[in-house]
């Protein structure tokens, strides 16, 4: 959910359908309030000016105005107020129900389909990663600090998985660098960044967009399920939700992407999710969040056989 800072020129009695997110806004994420960085602020404004404006059917809150001033770092977003028509899941970390999960992955699929292999990707919308993958070197440096911090609480076999991922990362990114079957990721696709319709319909709105980027669509699904859900719940719903997601992709015009391709991409995306706890620790996210993510994601990569991807 969001906590919006009210602008002095807005009369809440008159302008009840809008809310302003501004320079000192706080964003509520997974039960934690944290200030948005300048980079996050700029990216969120860019999402509404570059992306949402380009796909009017996108399942996101309607944006009336989005401004970023690079000279002063002042910014604001003027967004539709969904208080009366929608709600957010509030019982963190409890996952959504099956119907709610279906609605969320269907909304993700509709959004992904709208920009699937779109020629604007990497030109007017977002940028591609550099071919030599410098982000892997940066991750290796951060992982070394993480390993020192965690010590023997990170078992040797898990440490070895990280080391193999760093060694094989460029090879594993080969499909990415073909720029095929690509779309725009949310980047923080947990279920608390979603507005669900109170009437139970399909008018789901995806919110909180400072982490968007071009990548394989399954990154959002792996982040939502493999990183955040405990094994029993994930095992019961994961396969069904992937089926539902794929069917919605096809219904929204995606072609040449079969169900096995989705499974292959999902498995690789789950493997890459082991990097998330490392970055979260680096950004001083509370250990009560990233430690549980670490445990859950390693259980997921074992369930799905993702370690096999690390062997040539």
- Two tokens, residue 268: 């690789």
* DSSP conformation letters of 104-146: HHHHHHHHHHHTTT-TTBTTTB--PPPTT-HHHHHHHHHHHHH
The more confident residue out of 1 and 146 is: 146
Task: Convert the pLDDT of each residue in 167-213 to its tens digit.
Answer: 999 999 999 999 999 999 999 999 999 999 999 999 999 999 999 99
Identify the band that residue 27 occupies on the pLDDT scale cut at 50, 70 and 90: very low
Q: Is residue 89 part of a domain?
A: yes
Q: Is residue 56 part of a domain?
A: yes
Q: Is residue 22 part of a domain?
A: yes
pLDDT at 50 over 60: yes
Q: How many domains does the chain have?
A: 1
Domain range enclosing 95: 2-128+179-273
Structure confidence at residue 65 (pLDDT): 95
Q: Is residue 240 part of a domain?
A: yes
Q: Is residue 203 part of a domain?
A: yes
Q: Is residue 87 part of a domain?
A: yes
Of 58, 36, 37, the C-alpha closest to 47 is: 58
Look at the alpha carbons of 80, 82, 84, 90 in this order and tell me if their dihedral is positive or negative.
Answer: negative
Q: Is residue 160 part of a domain?
A: no
Q: Is residue 281 part of a domain?
A: no
Structure confidence at residue 9 (pLDDT): 34
Structure confidence at residue 4 (pLDDT): 34
């Amino acid at each position: 959910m969001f906590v919006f800072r009210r602008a002095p020129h807005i009369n809440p009695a008159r302008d009840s359908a809008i809310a302003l997110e501004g320079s000192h806004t706080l964003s509520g994420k997974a039960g934690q309030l944290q200030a948005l960085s300048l980079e996050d602020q700029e990216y969120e404004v860019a999402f509404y000016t570059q992306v949402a404006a380009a796909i009017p059917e996108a399942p996101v809150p309607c944006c009336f105005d989005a401004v970023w001033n690079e000279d002063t770092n002042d910014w604001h977003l003027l967004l539709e107020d969904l208080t009366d028509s929608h709600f957010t899941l509030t019982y963190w970390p409890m996952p959504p129900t099956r119907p709610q999960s279906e609605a969320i992955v269907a909304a993700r699929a509709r959004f992904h389909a709208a920009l699937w292999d779109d020629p604007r990707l990497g030109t007017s919308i977002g940028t591609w990663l550099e071919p030599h993958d410098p982000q892997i070197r940066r991750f290796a440096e951060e992982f070394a600090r993480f390993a020192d911090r965690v010590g023997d609480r990170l078992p040797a076999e898990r440490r070895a998985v990280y080391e193999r991922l760093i060694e094989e990362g460029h090879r594993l990114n080969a499909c990415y660098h073909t720029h095929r079957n690509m779309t725009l990721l949310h980047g923080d696709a947990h279920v608390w960044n979603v507005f669900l319709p109170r009437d139970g319909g399909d008018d789901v709105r995806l919110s909180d967009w400072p982490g968007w980027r071009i990548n394989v669509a399954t990154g959002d699904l792996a982040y939502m399920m493999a990183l955040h859900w405990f094994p029993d719940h994930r095992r019961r719903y994961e396969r069904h939700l992937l089926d539902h997601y794929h069917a919605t992709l096809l219904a929204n015009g995606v072609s040449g992407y079969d169900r096995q391709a989705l499974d292959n991409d999902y498995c690789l995306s789950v493997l890459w999710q082991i990097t998330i706890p490392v970055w979260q620790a680096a950004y001083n996210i509370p250990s009560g969040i990233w430690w549980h993510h670490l445990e859950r994601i390693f259980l997921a990569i074992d369930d799905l056989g993702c370690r096999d991807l690390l062997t040539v």
